[in-house]
Chains A and B, each alone.
Chain A
Amino acid sequence: MNNIMLVKEKIKSINELTEKINIMEVCGTHTTAISKFGFRDVLSHNINLISGPGCPVCVTSDVYIDYIYELSLNRDIIITTYGDMIRVPGSSPHITLENAKALGADVRMVYSSMDALKIAANNTNKKVVFIGIGFETTTPYSAVAVRESEKLKLNNFFLLSLHKKVEPVMRTLLEDKTINIDGFLCPGHVAAVIGQKGFEFLQEYNCAGAVAGFEADEIIDGIESIINDIHNKDYTIKNKYERVVRKDGNILAASLIDEFFDTRNDIWRGMGEVKLSGFKLKEAFRAHDIEYIYPIKNYSEEKKSACQCGEVLKGKIKPFECKLFEKVCNPDNPVGPCMVSGEGSCAAYYRYR
């Protein structure tokens, strides 16, 4: 009960603000929580909460979705993946792992990268590909799976790393003069890995930042901190999720990333190429990198379509400003990834509209 009173008090104090402020979150779980708690409705309209490209599934290039679909149709391959990837459409609506399953593909949802390893151990006559997706939070878990596959000599275990680094895309957004971000609500579990210090770069842009957790009071704390910092022109990153996030982060987890992955240029769906933003397995682990066994063909430009996920992901339009939102594109008939993924901006706005 005390928490609710505190949240109400903070909202009241936040709403005394008269300046217009743009605050972006880059974490799908923050996007969903903000919609669920109805913060956009209770906060003053001066505070523009923008959902950025925080959903790793949503920002995976459709070229890779098509690639995974083709891999899955290979009878020698079992695809293992976290949840939402199953329904994400590639370059055409019918290109989904769900449809591939209907065509006889062996696609299995797993909770952990280690579950994928067990499937590899139990199916040595097949190649088992784990779709490693997520930002810095889940990248160490893919590293552990590769490390253990080497220890167990599981030569049939492969990783497709679609992991991405958050800092480069935040910089790209800050450098886009059409967006104007005053503050970032920083992703709590990415920060658990890279530390509060991982967001110190925001100071270079005179951008306020707060690492925040996912409960209502934690998100409001983060927003309040950002607003105070903007007011005081204080651009040092604040940690409002101290129960999990340390200043230096999780050094073990971060070193797993450094040991197993290089950073390369990567395509973010709807945004184009972001330099040095993709984590790809180092050459030493090539034997477990499915992209060396089945090289991806023709990294071509994404086709134009009515889907406006790209503009939504950059925060240029709100989901309900997309021409297709609700009328054509909805969770039962998703056109783009922002509606498919449970953490996509459009799915969040739709669910809590």
Chain B
Amino acid sequence: MCLGIPLKIIEIDGKNAVGEANGIKRSIRIDCISDIAIGEYVMVHAGFALEKMSKKDALDTIDAFSEVEKAINADEK
């Protein structure tokens, strides 16, 4: 339940936004973020951006997820 994913904001339309990571886009809500700009990163949880993240922290987490995915795919082969 607590798993959050970092996404980069690529579109904003009022309280709706589109976030992206590793080429996958997702519609999210930004009601809990007071000011956000395209290109910034957020931690997303249950469809809502919960908090802004620095680019470095977000990319570190995205890298970590990619490593896990690679490891899982390697195991399956």
Residues facing A in B2-42 (CB within 8 A) are 2-4, 29, 31-34
Q: Kindly identify which residue among B32, B46, B57 contacts A250, using a CB–CB cutoff of 8 Å.
A: B32
Residues facing B in A239-263 (CB within 8 A) are 243-246, 250-253, 256
Contact A29 B1 (CB under 8 A): yes
Whether, in the assembled complex, A141 has its beta carbon less than 8 Å from a beta carbon of chain B, the answer is: yes
Contact B43 A192 (CB under 8 A): yes
* Chain A window 187-222, contacts with chain B (Cβ cutoff 8 Å), 1 for yes, 0 for no: 111001100000000000000000000110000000
Contact A187 B2 (CB under 8 A): yes
Whether, in the assembled complex, A64 has its beta carbon less than 8 Å from a beta carbon of chain B, the answer is: no
Q: How far is the CB of A118 from chain B (nearest CB, A)?
A: 11
Q: Are A244 and B50 also in contact (CB < 8 A) when A144-B31, A215-B64 are?
A: yes
Q: How far is the CB of A243 from chain B (nearest CB, A)?
A: 4
Chain B contact surface mostly: loop
Residues facing B in A72-118 (CB within 8 A) are 82-84, 111-115
- Chain A interface size, under 10 / 10 to 19 / 20 to 34 / 35 or more: 35 or more
Interface stretch (choices A44-52, A132-140, A175-183): A132-140
CA distance A229 to B70 in the complex (A): 38
In the assembled complex, which residues on chain B have CB atoms less than 8 Å from the CB atom of A252?
31-34
In the assembled complex, which residues on chain A have CB atoms less than 8 Å from the CB atom of B69?
none
Q: How far is the CB of B8 from chain A (nearest CB, A)?
A: 15
Closest A-chain residue to B57, C-beta based? A243
Q: Kindly identify which residue among A28, A112, A192, A215 contacts B1, using a CB–CB cutoff of 8 Å.
A: A28
- Chain B interface size, under 10 / 10 to 19 / 20 to 34 / 35 or more: 20 to 34
Q: How far is the CB of B41 from chain A (nearest CB, A)?
A: 10
CA distance A281 to B45 in the complex (A): 22
Contact A253 B2 (CB under 8 A): no
Contact B47 A189 (CB under 8 A): no
CA distance A245 to B53 in the complex (A): 10
In the assembled complex, which residues on chain B have CB atoms less than 8 Å from the CB atom of A55?
1
CA distance A29 to B46 in the complex (A): 14
Whether, in the assembled complex, A336 has its beta carbon less than 8 Å from a beta carbon of chain B, the answer is: no
Whether, in the assembled complex, A59 has its beta carbon less than 8 Å from a beta carbon of chain B, the answer is: no
Whether, in the assembled complex, A56 has its beta carbon less than 8 Å from a beta carbon of chain B, the answer is: yes
Contact B32 A138 (CB under 8 A): no
Contact A140 B1 (CB under 8 A): no
CA distance A246 to B50 in the complex (A): 12
Whether, in the assembled complex, A27 has its beta carbon less than 8 Å from a beta carbon of chain B, the answer is: yes
Closest B-chain residue to A251, C-beta based? B34
Contact A141 B1 (CB under 8 A): no
Contact B1 A134 (CB under 8 A): yes
Provide 18 A-B residue pairs closer than 8 Å at the C-beta atoms, listed in order of the A residue: A30-B2, A83-B1, A111-B46, A111-B47, A112-B29, A137-B50, A138-B1, A140-B32, A144-B31, A188-B2, A189-B2, A192-B50, A243-B54, A244-B51, A250-B51, A252-B31, A253-B50, A256-B32
Closest 8 CB pairs of A and B: A112-B47, A29-B2, A243-B57, A253-B32, A144-B31, A189-B2, A244-B51, A252-B32
7 extra A-B contacts, CB within 8 A, seeds A29-B3, A111-B47, A137-B45:
A28-B1, A29-B1, A113-B46, A141-B46, A189-B45, A250-B32, A251-B34
